[in-house]
Amino acid sequence: MDIALVILAAGKGTRMNSDLPKVLHPIAQAPMLAHALQAGAALEPARTVVVAGHGADLVRAAVAELDETAEVVLQEEQNGTAHAVDMARPALEEFEGDVVVLFGDTPFIRPETLDAMVAARGRHDMVILGFDTAHPDARYGRLVMQGDRLARIVEYKDASEEERAIRFCNSGLLACDAKTLFSLIAEVGNDNAAGEYYLTEVAELANARGLSVTAVKCDEAETLGINSRADLAEADAVFQARARAELLDLGVTLMAPETVYLAFDTYIGRDSVIEPNVVFGPGVTVESEATIRAFSHLEGCHVSRGATVGPFARLRPGAELAEHVHIGNFVEIKNAQIAEGAKVNHLSYIGDADVGAKTNIGAGTITCNYDGVMKHRTVIGERAFIGSNTMLVAPVTVGNDAMTATGSVITKDVPAEAMAVARARQENKPGLAVKLFEKLKAIKANKEKGQ
C-alpha cells in the first residue's frame, strides 16, 4: 500500500528565542526537519507533505533543497495538531493509501520504528506510537491499553492517579488510512482550554466507530522533542553519541571519540583512523584506510582510500583527494583535484586546481586563483615538483615532470620537463647591513630624546 508522509513543521518555537523557524535549527549541521525527512524516506513514501506555518517561505526553500518531490502546505493559524494535519487534506484528496504523521521537531525516530508502525497497520485501522517513560511525573498523555487494543489516550492533566502511574506514553505520531484519518479529523472539536484541535482525539473517535486502534512501542530517546536551545544542544549531543558509536561498530578508529564532531551525512569507511578534535562539516566522504589527523576540518569533500589529511588541515567544498594522497599541516584545499600519490605537506593553499599523480607541492605554495572578479584554474601535471614559496598565478599550467624554483612567481605556462625560475636576481651589498642598522638605531634614539 502507498504511504504519504505528513510532517508537521508549523510551530514558531517561541522558547528558541529566534527569528528562524524551529524546524530549521540545525542538529549535526542539518535542519532538524532534514532528520525527520530522512527517517520518513525509509518508508519510500509516494507523497510527502510538509505543513509549514511560521517562516513558511524559509521552510519551503529548505524543503526544496532537501526533497524536491515534497509538497509544502500552509497552516496560517496554529490551531492545534489535528488542524495542522487537516491542512494536508487538499494535497491528499485523491490519495489512496496510508498517512504516517511525523513531527519536524522530533528528529530521532528510527526507520525500524516506522516499519513497525506500518506492519501493525496491516492488522489494525490506526496505529499510535508510544514509549515507556523513565520519568513517572512526566506530563505526557497516557496510553490506556486493553490487550493489544488502545482503549483511549488520557492527557496528564485529566488523568487519575491510577492512570498517571501508567508509564506507556503518547508520542503524537500515528499511521492510518488517509480517508479514515481525515474523516475522523473532521469530527475533532476544540472544546478545551486552548481552543485547539488535538490529533490525540482521533484515537477515541476511531474507537467510537468500532475501528481497531493499537499502539507500538519505541525507545523514549526517539521521541525527544526540541523546544529550546537547551533541547537543541541535548539533541546534538544525542546525535553525536549515536553517530560515533555507529562508526566504531563499523570498524572506524576514533582515537578520542568525544572530541570528533560529525555532520548529518558524514560517511567514513572501515579501518580509517580519526585522530582527536576533527570536525566534519556536511557532505564529507572518507573511504577505507584513510587517516584524518588531529585538529583538521573537512566539509564538502571526498577523501579516497589510504589518503592522509592533517594535522591542522582544512578541506573545503570541491576538494577531491585520490588514493594515497598526503595533505599535511596547515594546508587548505578548495575545489581542487589531487591525483593519486600527490603530496601537499606544508603551509600551502591549493584552490581551483588540478594536481597530477605523484606531484610534490613545496611548503608555502599558493595558487593565486582570484583576480578580484573571477576565479581561474591552475593545472599541474604528473610528477611535477613545485618549489617552496611558489606563487602560481592562474590561469597557468605546469607540465608533467616540470619544476619551479623556490620563491618563483609563475605567470606563464611551464612546459613538460622544464624548470621555471621567476624571481629577481640576488645582489649582496658588502657592509650595508651594519650601516643600515646603525642609521636606524640613531633615528630611534633621536626620537626617544625628543619625547
* Tens of each residue's pLDDT in the chain, 451 residues: 899 999 999 988 889 999 999 999 999 999 999 999 999 999 999 999 999 999 999 999 999 999 999 999 999 988 999 999 999 999 999 999 999 999 999 999 999 999 999 999 999 999 999 999 988 888 889 999 999 999 989 888 888 889 899 999 999 999 999 999 999 999 999 887 778 898 989 999 999 999 999 999 999 999 988 999 999 999 999 999 999 999 999 999 999 999 999 999 999 999 999 999 999 999 999 999 999 999 999 999 999 999 999 999 999 999 999 999 999 999 999 999 999 999 999 999 999 999 999 999 999 999 999 999 999 999 999 999 999 999 999 999 999 999 999 999 999 999 999 999 999 888 999 999 999 999 999 999 998 887 6
Q: Which CATH superfamily is domain 246-420 in?
A: Hexapeptide repeat proteins (2.160.10.10)
- Residue of 374, 391, 312, 302 whose CA lies nearest to 339: 302
Question: Which residue among 25, 324, 346, 376 is the active-site one?
Answer: 346
Residue 297: active-site member: no
Radius of gyration over alpha carbons of the chain, in Å? 31
User: CA-CA distance, 243 to 34, in Å (whole number)?
Assistant: 16
- Residue of 124, 99, 105 whose CA lies nearest to 37: 105
- Residue ranges per structural domain of the chain: 3-223, 246-420
CATH number 3.90.550.10 is the correct assignment for the domain at 3-223 = yes
